[in-house]
Amino acid sequence: MQLAAITDEISQDFEHALDVLCEYGATGAELRGLWGTNIADLSEEQTARAKAALRQRNLKVACLATPFYKCDLAQDAPNPGEAAGRMHLAQPRGLELQMEMLQRCIRLAHAFDTRFLRVFSFWRKAVLTPEIEAQIVAAFQEPIALAEKEGVTLLLENEHACYIGTGVEAARLARAVNSANFQLVWDPGNAFSAGETPYPDGYAAVKPWLAHIHIKDGRRVETPDQGLRVQWCVVGEGEIDYAGHFAALKRDGYQGYVSLETHYIPASGSGPEGKGLPEDGSRPCLAALQKWVEA
């Protein structure tokens, strides 16, 4: 098991984020936002700079966290290309532009010497039905053919803002797609947000297709304006059973990356006027993960 993090959960200053990762013994970095640019839009100059920064610190790219299929499932949907969730600096793109973006991201994957590209399952605009699930399976046929040709693997992340939000749903889709070039990013925090018990239920479902893991923790809180919602917190201090998760990962011989996707930003910290920054939330999470990974 190896430690990584989505670097913009620490800082948009890519080199600084890598330095922080090195402090906690990480061996990998997951790339999403660098210097205010989403990975799908990275220039050749930025790519060269990022590669040099990684090489200088002896860090590998664990995965490219692409925004592929963070769009509407139907091309004729109302407001095509409009984001229905967090895009993390990515430009909203309609369905007709997704394959072009994937081809670009695959070229970047080759440049960064990684075979893993994180992908999604379309904005959840309705209740997930067998018919919608079949459409999602069909929508992945062309991307998977391209992945097979290029020697990369598409890793579907269970995302509560998209149709496939739980481990059980992700496993069902992976079973239907049935390709070695289509595996899963398991995100217990997203499963928790979608109402699933991440461990043991979600983990048991995704285990046969598990290739990469995102880590964040949270607890359900009642708010006067939004009702019951998930509030992110330091990993290990929330309601997700990460002690059970990591015991199971070790028992099952998982050798991949666990990649921090903090989301937690404390109210106070090292930012202007004493406000918290992403790094202030990520540091205690990295410290907790380092202990679990090295245990």
How far, in Å, are 23, 26, 75, 175 from residue 139 at the CA level?
41, 35, 12, 15
Neighbours of 179 (CB within 10 A): 16
Structure tokens at 52: 């040099």
CATH number 3.40.50.2300 given to 2-294: no
How far, in Å, are 142, 158, 249 from residue 206 at the CA level?
23, 10, 12
Cis, bond preceding 200 (omega within 30 deg of 0): yes
Structure tokens at 50: 């990022």
Cβ density class 45-84: b for 16+ within 10 Å, e for less: eebebbeebbeeeebbbbbbbbbbbbbbbeeebeebeebb
Looking at residue 33, its amino acid is G
**Residue that the structure tokens 């918290």 belong to:** 276
Give me the torsion for CA of 233, 261, 48, 97, rounded to 10°. -130
Q: Where are the domains of the chain?
A: 2-294
For the chain, the maximum distance between any two Cα atoms, rounded to a whole number of angstroms, is: 52
Which residue intervals of the chain are DSSP H helices?
14-23, 44-57, 98-111, 130-139, 141-150, 167-177, 188-193, 203-206, 242-251, 278-294
pLDDT of residue 88: 82
Looking at residue 143, its amino acid is P
Rounded to two decimals, the pTM is: 0.95
Whole-number Å distance between alpha carbons of 166 and 282: 24
Whole-number Å distance between alpha carbons of 268 and 281: 10
Quick one: angle between helices 44-57 and 98-111, nearest 10? 40
Q: List the chain pLDDT tens, one digit each, 295 residues.
A: 999 999 999 999 999 999 999 999 999 999 999 999 999 999 999 999 999 999 999 999 999 999 999 999 986 565 655 666 777 888 889 999 999 999 999 999 999 999 999 999 999 999 999 999 999 999 999 999 999 999 999 999 999 999 999 999 999 999 999 999 999 999 999 999 999 999 999 999 999 999 999 999 999 998 877 778 999 999 999 999 999 999 999 999 999 999 999 999 999 999 999 999 999 999 999 999 999 999 8
Tell me how far the alpha carbon of residue 100 is from its chain's centroid: 21
Structure tokens at 132: 């919608």
Q: Which residues is 260 bridged to in the sheet?
A: 5, 215
Contact 225, 274 (CB under 8 A): no
pLDDT of residue 91: 85
